[in-house]
Amino acid sequence: MLKVVVDTNVLISATIIQGKQFEILKLSKLGKINLITSPNILKEFEEVISREKFGFSKEQVSLAINQILEIAELIIPQHKIDFIKSDPDDNIVLECAQESNADIIISGDDHLLDLKKYKKIQIMNATEFFNTYYKE
Protein backbone atom coordinates (compact mmCIF):
# COMPACT_ATOMS: atom_id res chain seq x y z
CA MET A 1 0.00 0.00 0.00
CA LEU A 2 1.26 3.47 -0.87
CA LYS A 3 2.48 5.56 2.04
CA VAL A 4 1.39 9.15 1.45
CA VAL A 5 2.16 12.38 3.30
CA VAL A 6 0.05 15.42 2.44
CA ASP A 7 1.02 18.97 3.26
CA THR A 8 -1.06 21.60 5.00
CA ASN A 9 -2.33 23.04 1.69
CA VAL A 10 -3.85 19.69 0.78
CA LEU A 11 -5.47 19.32 4.21
CA ILE A 12 -6.93 22.83 3.99
CA SER A 13 -8.30 22.21 0.49
CA ALA A 14 -9.74 18.86 1.57
CA THR A 15 -11.51 20.60 4.44
CA ILE A 16 -13.07 23.45 2.46
CA ILE A 17 -13.89 21.84 -0.91
CA GLN A 18 -14.67 18.31 -2.01
CA GLY A 19 -12.15 18.12 -4.82
CA LYS A 20 -9.18 15.84 -5.48
CA GLN A 21 -7.61 16.70 -2.12
CA PHE A 22 -10.74 15.46 -0.35
CA GLU A 23 -10.63 12.30 -2.49
CA ILE A 24 -7.11 11.60 -1.19
CA LEU A 25 -8.42 11.57 2.38
CA LYS A 26 -11.28 9.36 1.22
CA LEU A 27 -8.77 6.85 -0.22
CA SER A 28 -7.16 6.67 3.20
CA LYS A 29 -10.50 6.15 4.93
CA LEU A 30 -11.25 3.33 2.49
CA GLY A 31 -7.88 1.71 3.27
CA LYS A 32 -6.48 2.18 -0.24
CA ILE A 33 -3.53 4.34 0.84
CA ASN A 34 -1.69 4.79 4.11
CA LEU A 35 -1.99 8.48 4.96
CA ILE A 36 0.73 9.67 7.32
CA THR A 37 0.93 12.90 9.27
CA SER A 38 2.85 14.41 12.15
CA PRO A 39 2.07 16.67 15.10
CA ASN A 40 3.88 19.54 13.34
CA ILE A 41 1.77 19.20 10.19
CA LEU A 42 -1.40 19.08 12.28
CA LYS A 43 -0.28 22.10 14.30
CA GLU A 44 0.31 24.09 11.11
CA PHE A 45 -3.06 22.91 9.75
CA GLU A 46 -4.77 24.07 12.96
CA GLU A 47 -3.05 27.48 12.81
CA VAL A 48 -4.00 28.06 9.18
CA ILE A 49 -7.57 26.72 9.22
CA SER A 50 -8.29 28.76 12.36
CA ARG A 51 -7.73 32.02 10.47
CA GLU A 52 -10.76 34.24 10.35
CA LYS A 53 -10.97 34.13 6.54
CA PHE A 54 -11.95 30.44 6.67
CA GLY A 55 -14.76 31.01 9.18
CA PHE A 56 -14.36 27.80 11.18
CA SER A 57 -15.21 27.69 14.88
CA LYS A 58 -12.82 26.11 17.39
CA GLU A 59 -15.18 23.12 17.55
CA GLN A 60 -15.13 22.69 13.77
CA VAL A 61 -11.33 22.90 13.71
CA SER A 62 -11.09 20.33 16.49
CA LEU A 63 -13.51 18.04 14.63
CA ALA A 64 -11.46 18.35 11.41
CA ILE A 65 -8.25 17.43 13.26
CA ASN A 66 -9.94 14.45 14.92
CA GLN A 67 -11.25 13.25 11.55
CA ILE A 68 -7.73 13.42 10.11
CA LEU A 69 -6.38 11.48 13.09
CA GLU A 70 -9.03 8.77 12.53
CA ILE A 71 -7.75 8.04 9.02
CA ALA A 72 -4.05 8.88 9.27
CA GLU A 73 -1.07 7.29 10.95
CA LEU A 74 0.56 9.78 13.31
CA ILE A 75 4.34 9.65 13.44
CA ILE A 76 6.79 11.77 15.37
CA PRO A 77 9.87 12.58 13.30
CA GLN A 78 13.10 12.10 15.21
CA HIS A 79 15.34 14.07 12.83
CA LYS A 80 15.14 17.70 11.79
CA ILE A 81 15.65 18.51 8.12
CA ASP A 82 16.93 21.86 6.90
CA PHE A 83 16.67 21.32 3.17
CA ILE A 84 14.22 23.98 1.97
CA LYS A 85 15.88 27.28 2.79
CA SER A 86 13.36 29.62 1.12
CA ASP A 87 10.47 28.39 3.32
CA PRO A 88 11.83 26.40 6.28
CA ASP A 89 8.30 25.52 7.49
CA ASP A 90 8.01 23.15 4.51
CA ASN A 91 10.73 20.98 6.01
CA ILE A 92 8.18 19.47 8.43
CA VAL A 93 6.62 17.67 5.46
CA LEU A 94 10.00 16.25 4.42
CA GLU A 95 10.68 15.18 8.02
CA CYS A 96 7.37 13.31 8.20
CA ALA A 97 7.87 11.67 4.82
CA GLN A 98 11.44 10.60 5.55
CA GLU A 99 10.65 9.26 9.03
CA SER A 100 7.74 7.19 7.73
CA ASN A 101 9.52 5.98 4.57
CA ALA A 102 6.71 7.51 2.53
CA ASP A 103 6.40 6.81 -1.17
CA ILE A 104 4.79 10.12 -2.08
CA ILE A 105 4.30 13.66 -0.81
CA ILE A 106 1.19 15.32 -2.18
CA SER A 107 1.48 19.07 -2.02
CA GLY A 108 0.08 22.32 -3.24
CA ASP A 109 3.23 24.20 -2.26
CA ASP A 110 5.66 25.32 -4.97
CA HIS A 111 8.70 24.95 -2.69
CA LEU A 112 7.93 21.24 -2.37
CA LEU A 113 6.58 20.70 -5.88
CA ASP A 114 9.66 22.24 -7.45
CA LEU A 115 11.77 19.49 -5.85
CA LYS A 116 9.79 16.78 -7.72
CA LYS A 117 11.62 14.25 -5.54
CA TYR A 118 13.30 14.18 -2.14
CA LYS A 119 15.62 11.20 -1.80
CA LYS A 120 13.35 8.38 -3.07
CA ILE A 121 10.08 10.18 -2.24
CA GLN A 122 8.08 11.47 -5.20
CA ILE A 123 6.51 14.91 -4.79
CA MET A 124 3.42 15.78 -6.80
CA ASN A 125 0.16 17.68 -6.65
CA ALA A 126 -3.22 16.00 -6.21
CA THR A 127 -4.03 15.95 -9.92
CA GLU A 128 -0.69 14.32 -10.78
CA PHE A 129 -1.30 11.76 -8.03
CA PHE A 130 -4.67 10.73 -9.48
CA ASN A 131 -3.37 10.76 -13.05
CA THR A 132 -0.48 8.49 -12.03
CA TYR A 133 -2.11 6.11 -9.56
CA TYR A 134 -5.89 6.33 -9.94
CA LYS A 135 -6.67 6.96 -13.60
CA GLU A 136 -10.38 7.16 -14.22
Going along the chain from its start, the domains and CATH numbers come out as: 2-133 (3.40.50.1010)
Digit-coded pLDDT (tens) for 46-62:
999 999 999 999 999 99
86 Cβ partners below 8 Å, 6+ apart?
111
| SS3 (DSSP) at 18 | coil
Which residue, among 83, 108, 104, has the nearest Cα to 12 in the 3D structure? 108
At residue 86 the predicted structure's pLDDT band, cuts being 50, 70 and 90, is: confident
Which residue, among 97, 125, 100, has the nearest Cα to 111 in the 3D structure? 125
